Amino acid sequence: MSVRQSLLAILDQGPCYGYQLRAEFDRRTGSTWPLNVGQIYNTLDRLERDGLVTKGEVDEQGHVYWQITDAGSAEVAAWLASPVERPAGTRDELAIKLAVAATLPGVDVAAVIQTQRTASLAQLQQLNRAKYAGGDPDGPEELAWSLVVDSMIFAAEAEVRFIDHTEQRLARHPQHAMALSLSHEKPKRGRPAKRDATATVVGETAPATTATAPGARA
């Protein structure tokens, strides 16, 4: 989630000072991603360094109003017009944990899965309760909040489906047959080639060779 672009988009509506920016961000996200003032000002300093915002007037209370530049407005327009790009690989902790646990000798993977299912279902129930405890669903602030909560609910539902799917797959294989002992083969230097999960596109044929995934993001 880009705090940088979000703050720029708010400033594109008019000059704001730091605490005001935080309040406006909270209004538009239902306070589901709380920002501290230090994070706000650190971001503003970087935006100023990049020529996207400038310091403007100071009011009687000493509030410094930040205003967007033409370059900043252009970046906002480009951000809104561009899709959100997902990384080709995964760093999802649950997926990695289950993948590793499934190949460790002596691990009760069924217990690992059940513990996670209990926690994931509890989170899903909590999100659903929060969603239906809101106010006027047609109000702008309530709408913004509910959109964020909906996204969290869909992600939690997908997590539960993934857990069920994993349990069903592992049930078809004896656990001892899936265990990997430590390899005594000396690994080659450099990063191994990785499978690109985005290589296969609907309507296209996957390439015959294994694609090399892009390097990790900074």
Q: Which helix (H) or strand (E) holds 177?
A: helix 175-178
The pLDDT value given to residue 195: 61
Given a contact cutoff of 8 angstroms between Cβ atoms, the answer to whether 33 and 1 are in contact is yes
Among 54, 58, 57, which Cα is nearest to 11's?
54
The pLDDT value given to residue 209: 39
Distance of alpha carbon 48 from alpha carbon 69, whole angstroms = 9
Q: Quick: pLDDT tens for 31-88.
A: 777 888 899 999 999 999 999 999 999 999 999 999 999 999 999 999 998 888 877 7
Given a contact cutoff of 8 angstroms between Cβ atoms, the answer to whether 155 and 41 are in contact is no
Q: Quick: pLDDT tens for 82-110.
A: 888 877 766 788 998 998 888 888 888 89
Q: Quick: pLDDT tens for 131-171.
A: 776 666 667 778 888 888 898 999 999 999 999 999 999 88
Q: Measured in Å, how far apart are the chain's first and last C-alpha atoms? A: 15
The pLDDT value given to residue 9: 96
Q: Quick: pLDDT tens for 165-208.
A: 999 998 887 765 677 777 777 777 766 666 655 554 444 444 44
The pLDDT value given to residue 196: 58
Model confidence at 21: pLDDT above 50: yes
Model confidence at 128: pLDDT above 50: yes
Q: How confident is the model at residue 15 (pLDDT cuts 50, 70, 90)?
A: very high
